[in-house]
Structure 1
Amino acid sequence: MDFFEKTGPMAIGSRLRMLTDIITKDASAIYALYGIDFKPKWFPVFYVLADEQPKSVTVIAKEIGQSHPSVSTIVKEMMAKGLLAEVDNKMDRRCSLIGLSSEGKKVAQELIVLLRDVDRAIRQVADESRHDLWAAIAEWERLLAQKSILSRVEDVKSEREQSEVEIVSFREEYSEAFFRLNKEWIERYWELEEHDIEVLENPDGIIEDGGYIFVALYDGQAVGVCSLSRMDPSTGYDFELAKLAVDPKIQRKHIGLRLCEAALEKARELGAENIFLESNTRLKPAIALYRKLGFKELPEFHPAYARGDIQMELKLN
């Protein structure tokens, strides 16, 4: 089986390079066939100057879609070959203009017949083909300009890894992870408070009080936790979304979002109406996540933790 049949579209870069090599090899031979000493890579620069309007390297690079250093190198090669020459820029002497030399204009005339013949030959290939390659290339360029292959691979990778994350209910075996993950993120910015230790050392207490703890598993390991803690009815809230912690080594899997969504789904199942949370504005990704979920900042603030500087609520109905 052909290599590209085995790999499929994922080897598009290699296949395009191979096609480019075939075309470039033929192009060099075609110039030789017509007795013209010319390199294929010079053609874009030569073409935009063929109207005999001098241009700066910057303008040429922009017109042909190549980098300034690349065009600068090509211009130097063509000047050394005698095809291009600097032109006096009376409008701005700080900016050099490049134009065709007398030799370059002579070559331009010689290329007219060659280009007509090449155009006819290329059209023959297009007519024999079942697909419009030129239109397809333009479409791919447009699509990749909107979203690169790198970005698309990042999204596919993230989707796959998210599918490998499992959200489960708390079991005793996850007690160590519940303590460790929360301790790690708190001590990254602050110190553990007495109330932290009370809750983290006794996760069963959350469940015994009518709450729930959710654990994110990735590759069989607990990498994230979140609690839905029952609140006193006198507060006006049914539950507090709390103790959200995710292993910082696990990136781009939206584990925090998955945990929060699981907790809020459980709250809805139980008929809860109002959810409360307390956090710190220093935790910008977390605050952005809560806002994405619909939490609104409370105008009055009564912190339960020294590090708390924002309290939020979510109305489920």
Structure 2
Amino acid sequence: MDFFEQTGKVAIGSRLRMLTDKVTEDAANIYQLYNIDMQPKWFPVFYSLSQGEEKTITELAKTIGHSHPSVSKIIGEMLKKGYVKESKDTADGRRNVISLTDAGQEVAYKIKDQLIDVDAAIEELSAQTQNKLWEAIGEWEFLLEQKTLLRRVMEKKKERDSAKVEIVAYKPEYQEVFRALNVEWISTYFEMEESDYKALDNPKSYILDQGGHILVALYEGEPLGVCALIKMNDEEYDFELAKMAVSPKAQGKNIGFLLASAIVEKARSLGAAKIYLESNTILKPAINLYHKLGFKKVAGKPTPYTRCNIQMELVIK
């Protein structure tokens, strides 16, 4: 077990597989001990059928938590062994149901003593441990059902990547990347418009000199995301969140959320009460991000962009 002491919990799959192999090997020998001709992998299907109710393969798969192809394969093996039979459902002739044969029923009777002894052995084993494996497995299954291990690892990766992101104020040296990132995403989905050129070609005069701000996201020092806070001459809104763009190679690193959050905080520090934005519903990740930040859809205002089909606001509290 030195290997697992070195690797730690990251090798949990390999360690569980080794434990499963050990238990499965013992299970095969236990069946021999009781003179029962059974493969360990058949047991969930066999036990479900031994409770007396015939079932379809789909019902069996749902009952034991296996895939349909897996159960279908097991049923095929048990059919060859003569332990199960397949017949038409008397209530619905379109369905085939599986049930135990007389030979299968004999095994179900013989296996009772084995199950009693196995249960007692497991109880004895559990009593010798500080941690109750059976209960722990149930807890793990429940928690992984709520959120998979993959999803949990993705979140940890995002957290680690986020720690490498630094949000900084715009400098003239970032004008080229500010323009390039926005042109890239706009051109991917839409066409560049006159208002785009005004803001991207002259960010200083169009945004900064008018009381606006631009933030840049650096990932390990490289500028990979930008976002602007444009001052609005509007009685209802103080600023517009606009020109947010993230490099495709930075997707999944939480840069969009960090940028937008920083822009909102910037507006709050400036005493803003409401932020406005315009977007398009085809940009589902962006719309989801805005909802996550608390933006709500509002009735349309006159817009210079033909691509705009949704307008949103954030009331800063």
Tell me the TM-score normalised to structure 1 length: 0.88
Give, as a single letter, the amino acid of the residue that structure 2 aligns with 1:226. C
| Cα distance change, pair 16–189 in 1 and its aligned pair in 2 (3 A) | closer
CA distance in 2, matches of 1:300, 1:70: 54
Distance 1:250 1:209 in 2: 30
Once the two structures are superposed, what CA deviation does each residue of 1:217-240 show, in whole Å capped at 9, x if it has no partner? 1132111111223344x7564433
Tell me the distance in 2 between the aligned counterparts of 1:311 and 1:83. Answer: 65
Q: How far, CA to CA, are the matches of 2:231 and 2:52 in structure 1?
A: 79
Do the aligned residues in 1 keep the contact of 2:239 with 2:274 (CA within 8 Å)? yes
Q: Give how far 1:313 is off.
A: 4.4
Cα offset, 1:43, TM superposition: 1.6
With over 3 angstroms needed to count, the CA separation of the structure-2 counterparts of 1:309 and 1:103, relative to structure 1, is: closer
Moved more, 114-123 or 279-288: 279-288
Residues 112-123 of structure 1 mapped to structure 2, 5 A cutoff? 112-123=112-123
Given the alignment of the two structures, is residue 240 of structure 1 paired with residue 249 of structure 2, yes or no?
no
Q: What letter corresponds to residue 188 of structure 1 in structure 2?
A: T
Taking a change above 3 Å as real, the CA distance of residues 216 and 78 of structure 1, as seen in their structure-2 partners, is same
RMSD (Å), alpha carbons: 2.5
Which one has a bigger Cα radius of gyration?
1
1:213 aligns with 214
Contact 1:268 1:316 in 2 (8 A): yes
Q: Secondary structure at the match of 1:249?
A: helix
The Cα of 1:88 is off from its aligned counterpart by 5.8
Give the distance between the partners of 1:122 and 1:137, measured in 2 at CA. Answer: 14
- State the number of aligned residues: 316
Q: Secondary structure at the match of 2:240?
A: strand
Matches within 5 A, 1:170-189: 170-189=170-189
Unaligned runs of 5+ in 1: none
State the percentage of identical aligned residues: 53
Residues 161 and 254, structure 2, Cα contact 8 Å, conserved in 1: no
CA contact (8 A) 1:303 1:311 kept: no
Q: Check conservation: 1:301, 1:310, Cα contact below 8 A.
A: no
Comparing 48-57 with 170-179, greater Cα deviation is found at 48-57
Task: Report what 2:225 is aligned to.
Answer: 224
Cα drift, residue 198 of structure 1:
3.2
2: CA distance, partners of 1:16 / 1:156: 22
Distance in 2 (CA, whole Å) between partners of 1:143 and 1:300 is 43
Tell me how far apart the structure 2 counterparts of residues 284 and 196 of structure 1 sit (CA, whole Å): 21
Work out whether 1:110 is the aligned partner of 2:110: yes
- Tell me the SS of whatever aligns to 1:302: coil
Distance 1:94 1:189, change over 3 A: closer
Give the ranges of 4+ consecutive aligned residues of structure 1 lying more than 6 Å apart after TM superposition.
Answer: none
Q: Deviations over 1:206-264 (max 9, x none)?
A: 333332210011132111111223344x7564433222222233223332332222223
